[in-house]
Amino acid sequence: MASISTTGGMLLDLQLGGAQLISSANIANPLAIYMGTVLAPWPNRLRDGRYELNQTSYAFEKLDAQQNLNHGLVGEREFEIVEQGESFVSLGYEFGSDPGYPFRVDLTVRYELTENELLVTALALNNEREATPFAIGFHPYFLVVEAFELSGDFSHHVLTDERMLPSGAEQVNGLRYAGGPMDDCYFGSDSVLLKTAEASVQVQLGENMSHFMFYRPGPDIGDSMLAIEPMSSSANVFADDIRSVLLQPGELKRYSFSVKKQ
């Protein structure tokens, strides 16, 4: 069982093999924490809400307390249902109406469910006659009500400055996390394993996905959850390395990840 909202493409609830892995039941306002939202056309933070492409500057005014534009543009926007069946739903959104991102990119996100696995696939189509920047992430919150352990064979941990923007990377010998504050990005592994009293769950990166962001909310929000965020790039990519995320004219690019109960 999965519950998907057309607002932000949110993944609000997920049950696999009889185990409740994601639940919005006790969250008064899921949008306040971007619960399960699609993060596009970039994941995570954009410094000062500004970037430059081909000597043209683009900017946004609505920034967070750290003067970043966080979580992309579609978290509070409506997707349309493109196709729906007993075990899947495809949602669509058309970019191009934002002065800060005036590029005509069509995004389709498909959630497909089997008994023990959720497959999430996104397709981004560049309808412009010029190369266009695009990156994507997802923001599912997994239940960690009791003792838990998160592990992954990562090679690098992303270092950040006081504004939580990438400032470099350090080599690590994997990740083992069992509690405490967490707001960190890692790369070098295509999967993580979350073990709880309820189930063991593998989150697996698929096509064109490269990073994981992990975030543990504080007690005032819900410390019984852990965000495990698959991303196609690191934060601030439009400002730091925009050339790495360009879609060529007419290009259709596929991004995917899966959640599987072990």
Give per-residue pLDDT as tens, 3-38.
999 999 999 999 999 999 999 988 888 988 999 999
The whole-angstrom separation of Cα 45 and Cα 37 is 15
Give per-residue pLDDT as tens, 130-157.
999 999 999 999 999 889 999 999 999 9
- Percentage of the chain with pLDDT > 90? 89
At which residue do the structure tokens 């923001």 appear? 139
Give per-residue pLDDT as tens, 179-188.
999 999 999 9
H or E element, residue 192:
strand 191-195
Per-residue confidence (pLDDT) for residue 198, from 0 to 100 = 86
User: Confidence class of residue 221 from pLDDT cuts 50, 70 and 90?
Assistant: low
Give per-residue pLDDT as tens, 50-59.
999 999 999 9
Per-residue confidence (pLDDT) for residue 125, from 0 to 100 = 98
At which residue do the structure tokens 């690590």 appear? 172
Per-residue confidence (pLDDT) for residue 27, from 0 to 100 = 85
Give me 143's structure tokens: 């239940």
The pairing of beta strand 80-84 with beta strand 88-94: antiparallel
pLDDT over 90 at 49, yes or no:
yes
Sheet with 117-126: strands ordered across: 80-84, 88-94, 105-113, 117-126, 252-261, 200-205, 191-195, 149-152, 175-177
Does residue 141 contact residue 227 with C-beta atoms inside 8 Å? yes
In the DSSP assignment, the letter for residue 33 is: G
Provide the whole-model pTM. 0.96
End-to-end CA distance of the chain: 16
Does residue 178 contact residue 148 with C-beta atoms inside 8 Å? yes
Q: Compute the average pLDDT of residues 199-203.
A: 96
Check the CA dihedral 217-209-58-94 and report its sign: negative
- Of 228, 143, 146, 218, give the one whose Cα is nearest residue 180: 218
Give me 93's structure tokens: 């959104």
Does residue 30 contact residue 12 with C-beta atoms inside 8 Å? yes
Give me 189's structure tokens: 């592994």
- Position 219: which residue type? P
Determine the topology of domain 2-145+216-261 in CATH. Answer: Beta-galactosidase; Chain A, domain 5 (2.70.98)
Q: Compute the average pLDDT of residues 93-121.
A: 97
The whole-angstrom separation of Cα 155 and Cα 189 is 7
Give per-residue pLDDT as tens, 228-240.
999 999 999 999 9
pLDDT over 80 at 251, yes or no:
yes
Per-residue confidence (pLDDT) for residue 28, from 0 to 100 = 82
Average pLDDT score, the chain? 95
pLDDT over 80 at 220, yes or no:
no
Per-residue confidence (pLDDT) for residue 222, from 0 to 100 = 61
The whole-angstrom separation of Cα 119 and Cα 47 is 31
